[in-house]
Amino acid sequence: MERKKDNSAIKELIVPVTAVFIGLVLGGILMTLTGVNAIEGYKALIMGCFGRLEYVSETIVYTTPLIFTGLAIALGFRCGLFNIGCEGQYIVGLIGAAVVGAMDLGLPTFIHLPLTMLSGMACGAIWASVPGLLKAKFGIHEVVNSIMMNYIALYLSHYLVNGPIKDPGITSPYSREILDTAKLWRFFGQNSPIRVNSGIIIAIAAALFVYYLLFKTTIGYQIRAVGFNPEAARYGGISVPTNIVAAMFISGALAGLAGAVQIMGIQFKFLDIFAFQGYGLDGIAVALVGKSHPLGVLPSALLFGILQRGSQTMQMLAGVPKETIGIMQGVIIIIVAAEGIIKGWLPIRKILGTDKKAAGKEVGRA
Amino acid sequence: MSEIDATISPGQVILEMKGITKAFPGIVANSDVDFDLKKGEIHCLLGENGAGKSTLMKILYGLYKQDKGEVFYKGEPLVVNGPADTLRQGIGMVHQHFMLIKPLTVAENLVLGNEPTKYGFLIDKKKAKAELMEISTTFGLAIEPDAKIMDISVGMQQRVEILKALHRGAEVLILDEPTAVLTPQETKELFVIMRKLVHDGKSIIFISHKLKEVMEISDRVTVINHGRIIGSVKTSETSPSQLANMMVGREVELIVHKEPAKPGKEKFRAEGLVAENDRGLPALRGIDLSVRAGEILGVCGVDGNGQTELVQCITGMRRLSAGKVTLNGKDITNMPPKRCFEAGIVHVPEDRQKHGLVLDFTVAENMILQTYNKKPFSRGITLRWDEIKSYARRIISEFDVRTPDEDTKAGSLSGGNQQKAILARELSRTPELIVVAQPTRGLDVGAIEYIHKRLVSERDSGRAVLLVSLELDEIMSLSDRIAVIYEGRIMGTMDIEDATEETLGLMMAGSMPASHKGVM
């Protein structure tokens, strides 16, 4: 019998990679149909993302929050939870960081900066714990609750930025700028237009942390056991409600961290938002394509970062409608989500060189 | 159809499946399978769970489409579009889980989907009843037409299913593990019915993994294993051990050899257990049990009489509304599962895939389901994979769990090996009381042999074993004492020497045999 270990990573990658490939081909066909040279279109995509230092920087800036929200949703998935509330947790994360970051407490950077970040995380975590508790205690489905929490966050933020936390010095609904002690380090200078900052490092560290948490600790073991089979977890003495709340809490903290990093590295203040910004929802796609694996989330977030950033330059440089990218994203997500069907079509065993019959025998369940 | 019918006389092949191959992603469920059924015979399809019996029958019944191969019915290629069509052509199936509507009456269920109507839209109940009476007299299957399904016994429900198939003109009946839900007496009645049906010219495919029943009722046996036909033999020319041999591919011991028990002091006691089932209805109505060190107490009964709830209450998975559970004199009533196993109870659950294993976890991960946060498997919150894996490797080899390695997903093991993996995990935790529920359900004879031996050796090393099983044979061959459960009460407890299949069967059906009055 072959050892599966060696193949498992490749096996996991086959579907997402195929999905991206099909998405790109389909995008090319769409461009051709709409009268655009597909090669020019993709050139614009690549150039727009990597053509200049600023562009690379912007791609990373787009990618960073997607890593956090992708991780948040992936962690939820691992516990069998669909934390569709990342959008709202992101918003409260923005607010939490904007408020604490703007507090002039005379703190040094090494205290003020982590405190600001923690504040954003805590807000997200608490926001996510509400649907978590409702699910654990009363069995109310987290999707419904967290969507409602999204709206509460959105309108609460309207109220706050137009009132209590509004910067009185200006007319626009902005909060006060955070202090320098709460700002993340921009690699090319604090006032440089090249906005890439240490947020990306925090994001990568977060991915490593989630990986460690999920696969190397007893907490992750419990979360995954509950996610795969709550009945067996209960049988094994693992508390299902506790882990549901814990997973929502950590997931919310990650989504809140997305907001905090956005404030501390990019925006420096809370700007009133009128509609959801989509990081939370795109995080679902990121987690799906990343197969809910923290290390899969990294390339997956980069992919979506590129597509989003690229969709703008494609429109500008090659006249490709932005919607083309939207369709490509949709195709990729559908293919990955329909993995079971796709795997039946793909000659995976041939690719990996394993004999179908031998595998059939080994599995032997009908 | 009757024209063709006339051409097939008893003993001629009525149904033939040739070269059937069916693959699912990753699994070849049937590989070049040939199967035939003669008119007026009972042909048993024998094999362990997952051997490919169900797939083959689902192809025949029109639920699956084969990749390769052909089916001939009465000499003509059989082309069906789904189960309803199959039934129209004369092939009926009685599923293991009945397809009946519980609040409706027997007569209403009989005509379901084919209702006689008045004025074009009202159901003609009188006619339905008449149709039922007619068919039940024809085949001598007595039944109460106005009884609601939920009020009649499982054996009767099965009878309704058979009548349903006959009512639609079934010539060929497929019975999928029909005895799994029956008491011994009901099984006997079913066999009488089956004999009568074949006498009247019907043909029956009997799916089973119970050798004793196969030997008793069938005319021919076809053994299937790993999706392939191992062989087809006349029942009169074979023996249980030969069949077991064919099923497993090696010699197996069908009888459990054990010395008389040498019970020690009482380990476990349950007094007056009262609990509800998932639907909030009373499931346990005052259960008293005790198990001593070095003995196996078997709890037998028909499915659904409180066994599941009893096991769950003892192992902390269900709350008792009254009663007391003690282990070694220590009160463990209503403790959560964690505290129960910390006190020394191990539990081999009846549903190994739902409770026993996390199928998407690796075998190694499953081996620490209760002990992941104990030394040496973790330090602080960090899991120590080296320790976990070497422990898993050790108990995998000790319990002979057949798996490529400890990193294989538990879900890809066969049923028998999943069960061995659970046993390995549970018995390695030096238990005080071993609670095993349905330990061999759906397993092949080889795995059953191993598990039985293992349980006896645990008993011999002085552990207390509480065995709950629906298989009367298993109870009778393993137990030192037997308790019969009926409607949430213990009808009586007896030593194995005093137990006969007849007495147990009667008690399982709720009547107390005269000779055992007052045995409690």
Report d(CA A241, CA A85) in Å as an integer. 19
User: Are both B62 and B208 inside the same structural domain?
Assistant: yes
Say if the Cβ atoms of B25 and A234 lie within 8 Å.
no
Report d(CA B277, CA B489) in Å as an integer. 14
**What was the pLDDT predicted at B138?**
83
Confidence of residue B514 (pLDDT cuts 50, 70, 90): low
**What was the pLDDT predicted at B395?**
92
Say if the Cβ atoms of B407 and A233 lie within 8 Å.
no
Q: Which of B70-74, B368-372, B461-465, B512-516 has the lowest mean pLDDT?
A: B512-516
Task: Say if residue B520's pLDDT is above 50.
Answer: no
Which is it for the CA torsion B55, B59, B64, B69, positive or negative? positive
Question: In the listed set B399, B430, B461, which residue is the last one of a domain according to the structure?
Answer: B430
User: Are both B489 and B436 inside the same structural domain?
Assistant: yes
Residue at B349 is within a domain: no
**What was the pLDDT predicted at B335?**
93
User: Are both B178 and B221 inside the same structural domain?
Assistant: yes
Tell me the DSSP string of A102-150. T------HHHHHHHHHHHHHHHHHHHHHHHHHHHHHH---HHHHHHHHH
Instruction: For residue B67, give how far its alpha carbon lies from the nearest alpha carbon of chain A (Å).
Output: 14
User: Are both B456 and B418 inside the same structural domain?
Assistant: no
Which is it for the CA torsion B293, B299, B305, B311, positive or negative? positive
**What was the pLDDT predicted at B209?**
79
**What was the pLDDT predicted at A13?**
81
**What was the pLDDT predicted at A7?**
63
Question: In the listed set B430, B464, B482, which residue is the last one of a domain according to the structure?
Answer: B430
Q: Which of B27, B315, B356 sits opposite A232 (nearest CB)?
A: B356
Task: Say if residue A308's pLDDT is above 80.
Answer: yes
- Report the pLDDT averaged over residues B368-397: 93
- Mutant choice from B48, B207, B318, B358 vs A, greatest count of A C-beta within 10 A: B358
Tell me the CATH number at B305.
3.40.50.300
User: Are both B175 and B267 inside the same structural domain?
Assistant: no
User: Are both B417 and B449 inside the same structural domain?
Assistant: no
Q: Which of A114-118, B1-5, B323-327 has the lowest mean pLDDT?
A: B1-5
Report d(CA A223, CA A219) in Å as an integer. 6
Question: In the listed set B248, B276, B293, which residue is the last one of a domain according to the structure?
Answer: B248
**What was the pLDDT predicted at B394?**
94
User: Are both B437 and B517 inside the same structural domain?
Assistant: yes
Q: Which of A349-358, B1-10, B464-473 has the lowest mean pLDDT?
A: A349-358
Task: Say if residue B169's pLDDT is above 50.
Answer: yes
**What was the pLDDT predicted at A359?**
37
**Cis peptide, bond prior to residue B349, ω within 30 of zero:** no
Average pLDDT, chain A: 88
- Report the pLDDT averaged over residues A292-308: 93
**What was the pLDDT predicted at A357?**
38
Instruction: For residue A226, give how far its alpha carbon lies from the nearest alpha carbon of chain B (Å).
Output: 9
Residue at B350 is within a domain: no
Confidence of residue A199 (pLDDT cuts 50, 70, 90): very high
**What was the pLDDT predicted at B25?**
67
| Number of structural domains found in chain B | 4
**What was the pLDDT predicted at A354?**
45
Task: Say if residue A365's pLDDT is above 60.
Answer: no
**What was the pLDDT predicted at A6?**
53
Chain B residues close to A237, C-beta within 8 Å: 336-338, 341, 370
Confidence of residue B49 (pLDDT cuts 50, 70, 90): low
User: Are both B322 and B287 inside the same structural domain?
Assistant: yes
Report d(CA B218, CA B196) in Å as an integer. 13
Task: Say if residue A68's pLDDT is above 90.
Answer: yes
Chain A residues close to B372, C-beta within 8 Å: 218, 221-222
Q: Which of B26, B52, B369 sits opposite A359 (nearest CB)?
A: B26
Instruction: For residue B428, give how far its alpha carbon lies from the nearest alpha carbon of chain A (Å).
Output: 15
- Report the pLDDT averaged over residues B317-337: 93
Task: Say if residue A348's pLDDT is above 70.
Answer: no
**What was the pLDDT predicted at B84?**
80
Q: Burial, B254: exposed, middle or buried (Cβ in 10 Å; 0-12, 13-18, 19+)?
A: middle
User: Is the pLDDT higher at B357 or at B55?
Assistant: B357
**What was the pLDDT predicted at A360?**
36
A38-50 helix and A5-33 helix, angle to the nearest 10 degrees: 120
What are B218-270's pLDDT values in tens digits? 999 999 988 889 999 999 999 888 888 888 777 777 777 888 888 899 999 99
Task: Say if residue B3's pLDDT is above 90.
Answer: no
User: Are both B103 and B53 inside the same structural domain?
Assistant: no
Q: Give the chain A residue nearest B342 (alpha carbons).
A: A237
- Report the pLDDT averaged over residues A257-267: 95
Report d(CA B228, CA B238) in Å as an integer. 20
Report d(CA B152, CA A93) in Å as an integer. 60
Q: Which of B315, B354, B383 sits opposite A217 (nearest CB)?
A: B383
284-323 in chain A: CB under 8 A from chain B: none
A231 touches chain B (CB under 8 A): yes
**What was the pLDDT predicted at A316?**
83
Encode A318-342 in three state secondary structure.
Answer: HCCCHHHHHHHHHHHHHHHHCHHHH
Tokens of B348: 């081999």
**What was the pLDDT predicted at B11?**
81
Confidence of residue A141 (pLDDT cuts 50, 70, 90): very high
Neighbours of B517 (CB within 10 A): 9
What are B189-221's pLDDT values in tens digits? 899 999 999 998 899 999 987 888 899 999 999
**What was the pLDDT predicted at A350?**
56
User: Are both B115 and B216 inside the same structural domain?
Assistant: no
Residue at B515 is within a domain: yes
Residue at B86 is within a domain: yes
Task: Say if residue A349's pLDDT is above 90.
Answer: no
Confidence of residue B516 (pLDDT cuts 50, 70, 90): low
- Report the pLDDT averaged over residues B141-165: 86
The torsion region of residue A197 among left (phi > 0), alpha (psi -120 to 50) and beta comes to: beta
User: Are both B13 and B83 inside the same structural domain?
Assistant: yes
Chain A residues close to B54, C-beta within 8 Å: 366
**What was the pLDDT predicted at A330?**
87
Chain A residues close to B359, C-beta within 8 Å: 228-229
Q: Which of A216, A231, A233 sits opposite B382 (nearest CB)?
A: A216
**What was the pLDDT predicted at B320?**
94
Chain A residues close to B408, C-beta within 8 Å: 4
Residue at B442 is within a domain: yes
Q: What is the CA radius of gyration of chain B?
A: 25
User: Are both B141 and B7 inside the same structural domain?
Assistant: no
- Report the pLDDT averaged over residues A103-112: 91
Say if the Cβ atoms of B358 and A365 lie within 8 Å.
no
- Report the pLDDT averaged over residues A311-333: 84
- Report the pLDDT averaged over residues A245-269: 96
Mode of pairing for the β-strands spanning B203-208 and B42-46: parallel
Beta-ladder partners of B409: B362
Tokens of B494: 């007896």
User: Is the pLDDT higher at B444 or at B110?
Assistant: B110
> Which structural domain, as residue segments, surrounds residue B304?
255-344+431-520
- Report the pLDDT averaged over residues A216-222: 96
- Greatest mean pLDDT range, A341-345, B33-37, B148-152, B404-408: B33-37
